[in-house]
Amino acid sequence: MVGRRSLKADFCPSARSLDVIGDWWSLLIVRDAFDGLARFGEFQKSLGIAKNILSDRLRTLVSRGILEVVPAGEGAVRQEYRLTEMGRDLFPVMVALRQWGERHLFEADEPRSSLVERDTGLSVRLDIRTQDGRAIGPGETVILKVPEPD
Amino acid sequence: MVGRRSLKADFCPSARSLDVIGDWWSLLIVRDAFDGLARFGEFQKSLGIAKNILSDRLRTLVSRGILEVVPAGEGAVRQEYRLTEMGRDLFPVMVALRQWGERHLFEADEPRSSLVERDTGLSVRLDIRTQDGRAIGPGETVILKVPEPD
DNA sequence: GGGAATCGGTTTTATAATGAAACCAATCGA
DNA sequence: TCGATTGGTTTCATTATAAAACCGATTCCC
């Protein structure tokens, strides 16, 4: 096969998501975008990514509707990369990754950045519930597959 | 630089998480593991991944504590790959990815697999709240950075 | 019990993705 | 106006990925 397999046509939503944002850099760029970064140079400095790769990733993220290009300031020539609505919707993904990393990838006493509510400083958590509001874990769930066409 | 930059030492938990599971295949393997797959051949068939790459990814996931190798059945020689506690803790990440994919990567009428509570069939959702239970969005949060050592 | 098929990989080789550096045009700042 | 910065693109070297061939150990089948 040439190149990497695409999961665009997969019926599993997780697989399609990974097809779009599952590469090494994209979510890091999105994280920085959530953090307020918007300019090419800012991403490049923050991530230490090669410029050609950053260029490619930004283009791809824009083409997929996760970032959009907007003029930087009023009537400015330079442009910025901003999260679209679709991009901002990745927030739960970022929070879930953060939460997992905090729990498993840090020593107890190790310094780390943390995500809190702006107004109160309360830490943010994420949980999984049924439609009617009961919290549940992986053991109580099941995936309903779509029937394979012969 | 040679190879890919490691984010192991980054103070951002999301970055460390991506360092561990941010590559192209790992989360797909984890998804399949949540789905009950456990054998080398099962993963290989499900993902269509090259065997050498699968071999490498499984080894890495085991070495990082996300999967563990257990004997398949009583006294069996063959072995299986199972999610560890740390691996099962990735459930919210999978749900978040799934939710995003459902919302943005499918046509309204397109068939898709869905995640539901086993006993009731109710669909599963995920949301972000403060410690005291109020649901919030990205706009109401802020990241507290760890002070950079000079 | 013997042979064939399957399982769970490893090795080899080709190709694609990534990274670093050099380069460049347009803009900005002094 | 001139030099520095920004935002890239191009080129080339290196690394990762993929496909296929291979292989030993098991399991299936009769």
A52-106: per-residue pLDDT in tens? 999 999 999 999 999 999 987 666 678 999 999 999 999 999 999 999 999 999 9
State the Cα angle at B21 between B137 and B54, rounded to 5°. 145
For residue B96, give the nearest of A27, A72, A46 by alpha carbon.
A27
Nucleotides of C under 7 A from a protein CB: 6-12, 15-22, 26-28
Query: Pick the residue with more confidence: B33 or B8?
Result: B33
Q: Cβ of B17 and A105 within 8 Å?
A: yes
Burial A100-136 (b: 16+ CB within 10 A, else e): bbbebbeeeeeebbbbbbeeeebebebbbebeeeeeb
Asked if B53 CB < 7 A from strand D, the reply is yes
For residue A10, give the nearest of A136, A112, A143 by alpha carbon.
A143
Q: Cβ of A93 and B88 within 8 Å?
A: no
Structure tokens at B36: 């009950």
- pLDDT average, residue stretch A19-24: 92
Q: Which of A98, A104, A127 to mutate to test the interface with B (most CBs of B within 10 A)?
A: A104
Q: Report which secondary-structure segment, H or E, holds B60.
A: helix B51-63
Asked if A58 CB < 7 A from strand D, the reply is yes
Residue B74 — pLDDT band, cuts 50, 70, 90?
Answer: low
pTM of the model as a whole: 0.93
Q: Which residues of A touch B119 (CB under 8 A)?
A: 140
State the Cα angle at A70 between A65 and A71, rounded to 5°. 165
For residue B75, the model assigns a pLDDT of 66
Residues 6-25 of B with CB under 8 A from A: 7, 11-18, 20, 22-24
Burial of B79 (0-12, 13-18, 19+ CB in 10 A): middle
Q: How far apart are CA A87 and CA B104, in angstroms?
A: 10
β partners of residue B115: A143
